[in-house]
Structure 1
Amino acid sequence: MMRYATVALAAFLTIGLSNASAETDRLVSTDWVMENLNNPDVRIVEVSVDPGVYERGHLRNAVNFRWHSDLVDPVKRDIVSQEDFEQLMSRSGIANDTTVVLYGDHNNWFAAWGAWVFDIYGHADVRLMDGGRAKWEREGRPMEVRQPDLRATEYTVEQTNPQLRARLADVLAVVEDGEDGALVDIRSPEEYSGRVIAPAGIQELAIRAGHVPGAKNVPWDHAVNKEDGTFKSADELREMYAAVGIDGSKPVIVYCRIGERSSHTWFALKHILGYDVRNYDGSWTEYGNAVGVPIDNPAGTIWTGK
């Protein structure tokens, strides 16, 4: 009797939020979001890179999280504290059982980073809108500038998942101590080789160029379809990463420059392929500035890309 009741409850919950992506319920389509814009059990959150994007127009009932202030510690380089995360959720009308859907510009760079933070603080149901803001706009879907009416909650973090985060010591354990693990550098080939330290137009925040020894280079954008920015299928992703030896047989650490582009790859490996993966948010701005750590620099540059 209990088994049938459990099955019925699961079916009810599934119907209640429409049908999520067949590939993974952590990734939802723009159609799914359109159907749930007014669903009181769903809170849509924009996390964009560029300032002012949200204010020019956003999805109905979406709240805005500023990655550089809402989701980070204001004093030290760190993610938002547990206390501040709870306060952010509470004033944003997010309860522990709310389905949170994140989206943003630049193919969900910081939306994926937001999803990583949500996972660290153990939120039960957080998803990404596949294709992000650009796909929504390209499809001509409605946008508005009105701020949503929010009813405050009393959000409490019930568990944390610090194992989703890699530190410098964890990277060095793989590089120098032979700990079992794989490293994936998701930056551009130019950054990886050491020809440049940062993408064009971005401030150089590291003193040295190159990559972590042993890291495989799979640029983040290889995981998306060029026509609409959606993630490639699980089979395509699995084949692409397996080609460089990333097949889920050992723990993976991903990194980029500051941890946002690597969050996109972290999401693909973790929530589409189901691999054991951590995001190293210190990334090259920490590793490339650290004293006494080895680097690999195929371009032959040493200091500031020169």
Structure 2
Amino acid sequence: MRLATIAGLAFAAAGLDGVESRAATPEGPLVSTEWLAANLNDPKVRVIEVSVQPGVFERGHIPGATNVRWHSDLVDPVRRDIASKEAFETLASTHGVTPDSTIILYGDNNNWFAAWGAWVFKHYGVDNVRLLDGGRKKWEAEKRELSSRPASVTPGSFKVTTVRPELRARLADVLEAVDGKRDARLVDIRSKDEYEGRIFAPNGVPELAIRAGHIPTAANVPWVKAVQEDGTFKSKEELRKLYADAGIDGSKPVIVYCRIGERSAHTWFALSQILGYETRQYDGSWTEYGNAVGVPITNLAGTVWTGK
């Protein structure tokens, strides 16, 4: 009898007792593994994985989750660009997203590409999108349930009603910031070695830029400093201090970049969604800037062309 009572309370807390549809969604841009585990059966909660490692979703994913491939679903197949408005509408509809959905994104690599996904969703006016704090890393570390069964989702008919270009920076915007024509702070979130020009890319990652270094005036705050050991974001107070120590306090708009935009999406999320700073993501990042003709660079290591 006591077990039944406890189970009933648990279902009620999760919003699965038939009295109400779900437990209240926590305030803020993040949800915990505990909250998600308690709300997996809520039809209004859409869980979407955006990982980088091939096959990781198929080997096991959060029950009910669907899979979005960042390199084919969230980008244009021909241009170097994010998915078009029409392609995004098709994608969201296929994954059962409706205006009433609470969208929970998660992935591997400390949510790099899940944060990219959140940025694309926000760009197309989807407000009710959260990250699972800690992503796959924390879910798996807690030995929570994984499923290899494809989720059964009823396709919808999602339409984009708002586009937010102000969340995205272009090369011209970056150059205006460098030249002092735009009152914005640049933040390079790559490693110190990438920032100084000692290496072009992390180990095992293709070198896609012809020059090494960083954008002049950019501060260096590596993305990894924003997370704890378990993959969750540091506290709001810790994040505020981390960026303030680099001169980023929210008093001026911010433009973040990395190599291709995935790591900087993580920092975009921290700055804009957690701290509330006006922040743009420069998704062209170093693979565009480091290959552009006629733009200035700062190289602290003395390398200029292909590391020589």
TM-score norm. by structure 2 comes to 0.92
SS in 2 for 1:69: helix
Alpha-carbon contact 1:96-1:124 (below 8 Å) kept: no
**Of 168, 171, 189, the match for 1:168:** 171
Shift of 1:304: 1.2
Contact 1:20 1:29 in 2 (8 A): no
Q: Structure 1 residues 222, 17: closer, same or farther in 2, change over 3 A?
A: farther
**C-alpha distance in 1, partners of 2:305/2:131?**
38
Equivalent positions of 1:86-125 (< 5 A) are 86-125=89-128
Give CA-to-partner distance per residue, 1:82-128, whole Å, 9 cap, x none.
10110111111111221110000000000000000000000130000
Shift of 1:46: 0.2
Q: 1:97·1:124 contact (CA, 8 Å) conserved in 2?
A: no
* Unpaired runs of at least 5, structure 2: 1-14
Once the two structures are TM-superposed, the CA of residue 178 in structure 1 deviates from its matched residue by 3.4
User: 1:9 matched to which residue of 2?
Assistant: none
Do the aligned partners of 1:20 and 1:27 also contact (CA within 8 Å) in 2? no
2:78 is the alignment partner of 1:75: yes
CA deviation after TM superposition for structure 1 residue 60, in Å: 0.6
Cα pair 1:46 1:65 within 8 Å, conserved: yes
Aligned-partner residue type, residue 18 of structure 1: A
Amino acid at match of 1:243: D
C-alpha contact (below 8 Å) 2:177/2:184 kept by paired residues = yes
Instruction: Give, in angstroms, the shift of residue 20 of structure 1.
Output: 4.1
Matched-pair contact (CA < 8 Å) for 1:45–1:102: yes
Cα root mean square deviation, aligned: 1.2
Letter in 1 for 2:51: S
Q: Which residue of 1 aligns with 2:131?
A: 128
1:150, distance to aligned residue in structure 2 (A): 1.2
Equivalent position of 1:276 in the other structure: 278
Identity of aligned residues (%): 63
Which residue pairs with 1:138 in the alignment? 141
SS at match of 1:68: helix
| Residues 255, 279 of structure 2: 8 Å contact kept | yes
- Hey, what's the Cα distance between the residues in 1 that align with 2:293 and 2:170? 15
Verify the 8 A CA contact 1:189 1:217 in the aligned structure 2: yes
**Which residue of 56, 60, 65 maps to 1:62?**
65
TM-score (structure 1 length as normaliser):
0.93
Count of residues paired in the alignment: 290
* Structure 1 CA distance for aligned equivalents of residues 99 and 74 of structure 2: 18
User: What residue is the counterpart of 2:219 in the other structure?
Assistant: 216
Equivalent of 1:48 in 46, 51, 54? 51
Does the residue aligned with 1:278 lie in a helix, a strand or coil? strand
C-alpha contact (below 8 Å) 2:28/2:274 kept by paired residues: no
CA-CA distance at 1:17 after TM superposition: 4.2
